Structure 1
Amino acid sequence: MDQDSRHSVSVAGVIVDDQGRALLIQRRDNGHWEAPGGVLELNEDIISGLRREVQEETGLEIEPELLTGVYKNMKHGIVALVFRCHITGGSLVVTDESKAFRWVTADEARVLSVQAFAIRVLDALAGTGYPAVREHDGVRILGAGI
């Protein structure tokens, strides 16, 4: 298998508060508003990677509740597993990877984030009980998805 045909796997946590809002971070590298997350390390299991990424970007400890979506960036071959989560400890702090935080409603997520990342929050907040499966180009959703 050549390098061009490989995928990478990332994880993200849509942390939901008791008012039904989701936590977004503003990334330091590009200024975008997204749910915290990142690429899994090669020998890392999915849930440990999710917890590590969220803690590195927010200072929070979380517990995943439900896999809410599987998203593929068709341009870069990145498959993201997104989980709805709740906080179990820690406190919000800015880090080397995040420069601001915001608790948002679904409508606010639509305004702050590009479509490909806002949909992750919307799917997690919808709480349908099964994961959405969607493709995107890094900005826009491609096709209808399920």
Structure 2
Amino acid sequence: MSVAGVIVDECGRALLIQRRDNGRWEPPGGVLEAGETVPEALQREVLEETGLKIALPATLTGVYKNMTGLIVSLVFRCEATDGVPTTGDETYALRWATRDEISQLADEAYAVRVLDALDAPSPPAVRAHDGVRLI
């Protein structure tokens, strides 16, 4: 299971990270560690990859399944409460992106997740890796 946090600024842009390992633009996030709760993992991953602390509870905006890796990902819309956006060991660059930029920068599977979080649908979106809604 993995988590991702879509941090949204006052202009409605989402913070994307460019990963060091593959150069791709994505929302900050990663896999839960043993014994870690979902909120703990979300806070840890966002802080490690962006330098920002987020408020809890965060809003669950989607549940996605990576069909290749068989990983379920929970995506949350987050509010930054402290810190300054900065790169880390896993992050090459950070960028506040508009809706159009998100679609250009991120792979489709990640763009859908970020756009769903910006739209904050209710109930949360549940999609397969290819973007097909599961429910």
Does residue 55 of structure 1 match 2:47? yes
> CA 1:69 to 1:144, structure 2 compared with 1: closer, same or farther past 3 Å?
closer
| Counterpart in the other structure of 1:70 | 63
Larger Rg: 1
Q: What is the distance in 1 between the residues matched to 2:83 and 2:21?
A: 24
RMSD of aligned alpha carbons: 1.1
Counterparts of 1:27-106 in structure 2, within 5 Å, are 27-64=19-56, 65-106=58-99
Q: TM-score of the superposition, structure 1-length normalised?
A: 0.88
Runs of 4+ that moved beyond 4 A = none
| Counterpart in the other structure of 1:6 | none
Unaligned runs of 5+ in 1: 1-8
SS in 2 for 1:71: strand
| Counterpart in the other structure of 2:126 | 133
Q: What is the distance in 2 between the residues matched to 1:145 and 1:14?
A: 21
Unaligned runs of 5+ in 2: none
Q: Which digits, 9 at most, give the CA deviation of each residue in 1:4-56, with x for residues without a partner?
A: xxxxx000000000111100000000000000000001200000110000000
SS in 1 for 2:22: coil
Q: Which digits, 9 at most, give the CA deviation of each residue in 1:94-134, with x for residues without a partner?
A: 11100111101111101100110000110000122321000
Q: TM-score of the superposition, structure 2-length normalised?
A: 0.95
Q: Compute the displacement of 1:92 (Å).
A: 1.3
